[in-house]
Amino acid sequence: MNAEKLIQLQGLTKRYGTGDAAFFALRGVDLTIDRGEFVAVMGPSGSGKSTLMNLLGCLDTPTDGSYFFKGIAVEHLNKDQRSLLRRHALGFIFQGFNLLARTSALENVELPLLYRGYTRKQRHEMAREALAQVSLSDKERNTPAELSGGQQQRVAIARAIVTKPDTLFADEPTGNLDSKTTVEIMDLLRKLNSDRGISIIMVTHEDEVAACARRIIHVRDGLISDDIITR
Amino acid sequence: MIAMTFNALLIAIREIRRNLMRSFLTVIGIVIGVAAVITMVTLGRGATEMVKQNISKMGNNLLVLRPGQGFGGGGGAQMFSLQDVDAVRAQVPGIASVAPFVSNNALVVYQEESRTYDVQGTTPNYFSIGNWTVSTGRFFTEAEVEESAPVCVIGETIRKELFGAGVDPVGSKVRVKNITLEVIGVTGAKGQGGFGDDLDDNMITPYTTIVRRLSGRQGGKNFNQVMISGQQDYPSAYIVADVAALMRERRKITANEQDNFNVFDSQQLAEVISSSTKVMTSLLGAVAGVSLLVGGIGIMNIMLVSVTERTREIGIRLAIGARAREVLLQFLVEAVTLSCIGGVTGIALAYGLCTTLAEVVGAPFLFDPKINIIAFVFSAAIGIIFGFMPARRAAGLDPIDALRHE
């Protein structure tokens, strides 16, 4: 497999349940994504777009098919190795933010660094730098409950980029946000992609959000129905 | 591995701080359980020990030959003679010391003060049998018994009531009925006896003084008790049996007649009382055990309630690249830290309670490491098992399932 490619999927399948109750969320997806791409994955609910995203992010395990991430056969990695892959190469942004409650913005952003053996001083420095990139330097002491939705999502983005990953996975990053905040978040993501070359793979069902991406993949009934390069 | 453990400790402490209320409730459950069990059992053991000590205050392996049957009997029953005392001393094995003993309530007068006390007549042997010490002055001697010397040794209560606390009464004269006695000593305070009675309100004189001068009786059966102390480690039951056999023979009691005397054995009494306080201790321990169990259930409750939130937390940690074993180690460290804080606080609380209560009740405080360890290990086990098990299940999930946990 070509190590220059970021992601290569062949016949990726995900089945939930067994026997008569079996349901195929993905039915053999083939897909290739290059480094530095900004891809939006779209589709109606139940189409399998979130499942695809979770499999790409190594948060879930496929039933069948092969998945190469930078030439590494992910389906042959064990749990701990997938954890280490996430730790060193991937960042995540969720629709529900998934910040730790009652924990300051700074400590939330520091969280991934705790598993990377940085000193206290290094952690603080890196977390402050990441918060500055999302323009939240003045909120580092606030807990999620004291922040607006857009601010919480920016903390989550800071947490995702603090480790300087080369790929960012975003699952409906603006799903819980109003339109003005949506624009802010999308500007931020676009900048991360264009200025720092971070590959972004984002699930969304909003056309305006998807329009920020340079490639839009439509998923329907567990298969890719459309694959458009917009610019 | 060391770095990983240190890291887990760091994260665990953050989590404890973040969830102060939950941590506090968990710790409180352990604290109460541990403290209750330790306090109850320690106090129970203290009470048992107190009873033993009080009974041993009565004397050194004390046995008392008394007229009549059973407790309190003896009104009108045959008393004992000096010949009986000599026979016991000469013929019963295992005896350390024997003393004749006669006691009467009598009015004791000192200047304007007068009160009724137990005036006792005996020999110097009684001081060792009754485990008496002297706080000032001296005991009387065999020679003073021989010459019926008008001397007496008084208890601490009499000194306080007639002379005032701290006054040295040695050399003072008191009147008992129609004779004047010189106070030659004060006995060391014994405090309360095994039945809550005052052991310091008696006046001890040579028996000859009482028998000849007070009761006016001469020779014959003057003694209402014979005080006996058994040798250390000699079974007191043998002495009881031998004294009884001797007295039956001396009094020519036939096989089908009942004894007209009885032998009180303080060691046997001590055993009876301490076995009943031991039952009490186990009962208290069981009650406290229930509170330990309830504390444990409280911990389970809190842990189970927090599982939802914690499962999502585990999902987040896994998603950002923590390995399952790192998450588990964190939860283990958390549970161990909380359990240990709870256990140590519980032991400290129990220590405080025990010393305070022991003082209030007047029981000695006996630190028992065994019960401390049992209570600590039990509560720590509950804390660790119920803190760790839900985490183990959650860490086994795919991160996305943990994240979606409702």
Interval B61-84: pLDDT, tens: 889 998 887 655 545 678 888 889
Q: What is the 3 state secondary structure string of A33-84? A: EECCCEEEEECCCCCCHHHHHHHHCCCCCCCEEEEEECCEEHHHCCHHHHHH
Residue B186 and residue B136: Cα distance in Å, rounded? Answer: 5
- List pLDDT tens digits, range B265-283: 888 888 888 888 888 888 8
Q: How far is A55 from chain B (nearest CA, A)?
A: 10
Average pLDDT, chain A: 91
Predicted complex ipTM: 0.92
Q: Do A111 and B7 make contact, defined as CB atoms within 8 angstroms? A: no
Torsions phi, psi for A2 (to 5 deg): -80, 115
Contacts of A102 in chain B (CB under 8 A): 18-19
pLDDT for the residue numbered B216: 56
Q: Which residues contact A29 (CB under 8 A, 6 or more apart)?
A: A9, A11, A12, A13, A52, A65, A222, A223, A224
Looking at chain A, which residue has its C-alpha nearest residue B325?
Answer: A80
**pLDDT exceeds cutoff 80 at B310:** yes
Report the share of chain B in percent with pLDDT over 70. 95
**How much of chain B is helix, strand and coil, in % rounded to 5?**
55, 20, 25
Chain A residues with CB inside 8 Å of B399's CB?
A: 59-60, 86
Q: Do B398 and A59 touch (CB under 8 A)?
A: yes
Output the DSSP codes for chain A.
Answer: --TTEEEEEEEEEEEES-GGG-EEEEEEEEEEEETT-EEEEE--TTSSHHHHHHHHTTSS--SEEEEEETTEEGGG--HHHHHHHHHHHEEEE-TT--PPTT--HHHHHHHHHHTTT--HHHHHHHHHHHHHHTT-GGGTT--GGGS-HHHHHHHHHHHHHTT--SEEEEESTTTTS-HHHHHHHHHHHHHHHHHH--EEEEE-S-HHHHTTSSEEEEEETTEEEEEEE--
Selecting from B309, B323, B400 the residue whose C-beta is nearest the C-beta of A60 gives B400
Contacts of B24 in chain A (CB under 8 A): none
- A92/B320 Cβ within 8 A: yes
What tokens does B59 get?
Answer: 């004397």
Nearest residue, CB atoms, B316 vs list A79, A87, A98: A98
Higher pLDDT, B26 or A104: A104
pLDDT at B218 over 60: no
Nearest to B320 among A60, A61, A86 (CB): A86
State the best of A16, A52, A59, A118 to mutate against chain B, taking most chain B CBs within 10 Å: A59
CB contact under 8 A, A80 and B399: no
Which H, E and C letters describe B29-52, residue by residue?
HHHHHHHHHHHHHHHHHHHHHHHH
The predicted structure's pLDDT at residue A33: 94
Nearest CA in chain B to A112: B320
Q: Which residues of A touch B19 (CB under 8 A)?
A: 102
A136-193: pLDDT as tens digits: 999 999 999 999 999 999 999 999 999 999 899 999 999 888 999 899 999 999 999 9
How many degrees, rounded to 5, is the angle at CA A182 between CA A56 and CA A138? 100
Pairwise pLDDT comparison (B154 vs B2), residue with the higher score: B154
- List pLDDT tens digits, range A11-28: 999 999 888 888 999 999
Check CB contact under 8 Å for A94 and B19. Answer: no
Q: How far apart are the first and last CA of chain A?
A: 27
- How many residues comprise chain A? 231
Q: What is the DSSP letter of B120?
A: E
Where exactly are the structural domains of chain B? 2-54+271-403, 79-259
pLDDT category of residue B143 using cuts at 50, 70 and 90: very high
pLDDT digits (tens, 9 = 90+) for B320-351: 999 998 888 888 888 888 888 888 999 999 99
Q: How confident is the model at residue B258 (pLDDT cuts 50, 70, 90)?
A: confident
* pLDDT at residue number B190: 84
Alpha helices in B59-206 (DSSP H): 82-91, 125-129, 142-146, 156-158
Contacts of A98 in chain B (CB under 8 A): 312, 315-316, 319, 403
Report the residue from A59, A88, A114 with minimal CB separation from B399: A59
Q: What domains can you pick out in chain A, each with its CATH number?
A: 36-59+80-229 (3.40.50.300)
- The per-residue pLDDT for B8 is 84
Q: Tokens 């998807």 label which residue?
A: A210
Residue A216 is encoded by which pair of tokens? Answer: 């839009």
